[in-house]
Amino acid sequence: MSLKNKATLFLVATPIGNLNEMTTRAVDVLKNVQVIACEDTRNTLKLLTHFDIHTRMISYHNFNEEESSEGIIKLMEEGKDVALVSDAGYPLLSDPGYHLVNRVIEEDYNIVTVSGPNAALNALVASGLKTNHYLFYGFLNAKSAKARKELEELRYFPYTLIFYEAPHRIEKTLKLCLEVLGERRACLARELTKLHEEYHRGNLSELCELSDLKGEMVLLIEGYEKEEEEIDQEELFKEIGELIEEGHKTKEAVGQIAKEHGLSKNALYNDYLKHNNKE
């Protein structure tokens, strides 16, 4: 990576539960920057103390993003490197940092990501749900009416859905998901990388029966799967024949009917020829 001869903002992922997840590189970066901007100085202090890091901390959270971003830009103007961390995992993912990153981009300073743990990906790969395509949504709105609207917009999304949820809302959220999305396979992961890490896998209706759930939650739900339409092959051949009678060439007629029903043109053409030969 080629860096400009300017100050750098490091986006540092921190442990989501187990302190051993902290990488050597992350420790080195936090020791060598001039300032660490953190979501909660009390939580970050515990991490820094554990790794014997004594770098100056400043507060950067949802309620002071704009003001703090300008302060960080001034520090970078002075040539100071800054690390941004959240309480756990990656900054910006359901955590503050979006405004700062865009200000740093505007001012043409360096941005470097320091890799580390992520609860959504940890849960995804162990969920048993499809991993080739997925949507990380984060937190649904805390208000039920707005959360319902969000789920309705996601109802026909075909990829695995990943949500974060607070323990005091999880039972309500599970029931709402079942009501809006319908019965689907799902996985609820809690306390990832911690002593009491746990996965609950099953249908949404089964997860709704869980109670007294505590800790940080990741909820994964399989994407929408379109029910395959049962197609009468004789009816397809009849439709092709009608188009041919209207003057279409056989391949054109087959192509049109295949497109209308979402079928393979070549496979339908071969089946049609075999059907005619039998006759």
Predicted local distance difference test score (pLDDT) of residue 1: 47
Tokens of 98: 């979006």
Check if the beta carbon of residue 139 is closer than 8 Å to that of residue 132.
no
What per-residue confidence (pLDDT) applies to 114? 98
Instruction: Look at residue 97 and give its three-state secondary structure.
Output: coil
Q: Does domain 120-221 have CATH number 3.30.950.10?
A: yes
Residue ranges of the domains in the chain? 8-117, 120-221, 233-278
Structure confidence at residue 2 (pLDDT): 56
Looking at residue 252, its pLDDT comes to: 92
The model's pTM is 0.78
- At residue 171, the pLDDT reads 95
The 3-state secondary structure of 114-150, one letter per residue: ECCCCHHHHHHHHHCCCCCCEEEEEECCCCHHHHHHH
Give the pLDDT of residue 3: 80
pLDDT at residue 228, as a whole number: 56
- 120-221 has the same fold as 8-117: no
Which residues of the chain fall short of a pLDDT of 70?
1-2, 227-230, 278-279
The domain 8-117 having CATH identifier 3.40.1010.10: the answer here is yes
Beta-strand relationship, 110-114 and 8-12: parallel
Quick: pLDDT tens for 14-42: 999 999 999 999 999 999 999 999 999 99
Q: What confidence score (pLDDT) does residue 177 get? A: 97
- d(CA 172, CA 174) in angstroms, rounded, equals 6
